[in-house]
A and B are shown apart, each in its own frame.
Chain A
Amino acid sequence: DVKVTQSSRYLVKRTGEKVFLECVQDMDHENMFWYRQDPGLGLRLIYFSYDVKMKEKGDIPEGYSVSREKKERFSLILESASTNQTSMYLCAILGGANTEAFFGQGTRLTVV
């Protein structure tokens, strides 16, 4: 079974805090993605990585950064959390064109 594990299911943080969301995979896949899911807006791509230390901005990168030091781990960083970053965050992996994307269980982040 494919495992994509996000470090927390629920998280509550204060405005201005630096927040780390971790995603770990056991499939040795090259491509990893971070999305946020909001009602009526679908899944919006924040950042993705296609190899260790390689990253590309998605559609809404502002206020976020990422880190991929090892192939199995992809971290999303909220530099200074704000209330408009309250959302469900989903990590996904993709092993190339001929595979489906596998998702983590999601982290529901609330910024107060």
Chain B
Amino acid sequence: AQSVTQLDSQVPVFEEAPVELRCNYSSSVSVYLFWYVQYPNQGLQLLLKYLSGSTLVKGINGFEAEFNKSQTSFHLRKPSVHISDTAEYFCAVSEGSNYKLTFGKGTLLTVNP
């Protein structure tokens, strides 16, 4: 059965610093990988997705993620964060012919001035 582990529940950083949010998954079959963002009191928005091909995926708002099959990881990175990036970030995995979509517990990114 698939599972998604987000290794950090909270990540505080200063503005303009780089950030990495970590995500590991377990699955016995090929998967599709996603990162979603949820701003305070808002719905979920897709940041980026990996389906196949290049392991480095670029998304919106300057975020990117790298798929590492051997380490079963899909870490999210941004070289320089802004206050407006403060939000909760969710890693998600879809597997199987029925595309079961499973989410991690989320990482709260807080960007401080």
Contacts and interface: CB of A to CB of B under 8 A. Distances in A.
Interface of A: 31, 33, 35, 40-45, 48, 50, 56, 58-59, 90, 92, 94, 96-98, 100-101, 103-106
B103 A35 contact: yes
Contacts, number: 57
A101 B46 contact: yes
28 contacts: A31-B98, A41-B105, A42-B6, A42-B103, A42-B104, A43-B103, A43-B106, A44-B103, A45-B103, A48-B98, A58-B100, A59-B102, A92-B101, A94-B94, A96-B99, A97-B32, A97-B51, A97-B99, A100-B34, A101-B34, A101-B36, A101-B44, A101-B46, A101-B92, A101-B101, A103-B43, A103-B44, A106-B43
A50 to B, nearest CB: 4
B105 A42 contact: yes
A94 B101 contact: yes
Interface of B: 6, 9, 32, 34, 36, 43-44, 46, 49, 51, 90, 92, 94, 98-106
A98 B44 CA distance: 18
Please classify the interface of chain B as helix (H, G, I), strand (E, B), loop, or mixed, using the class held by over half of its residues.
Answer: strand
B21 to A, nearest CB: 13
B46 A31 contact: no
B105 A40 contact: yes
B98 A56 contact: yes
Given A40-B105, A41-B105, A94 B99 contact: yes
A74 B44 CA distance: 19
A31 B95 CA distance: 13
A45 B99 CA distance: 13
A56 B103 contact: no
B95 to A, nearest CB: 10
Contacts of A92: 101
B109 to A, nearest CB: 14
B44 A40 contact: no
A98 B51 contact: yes
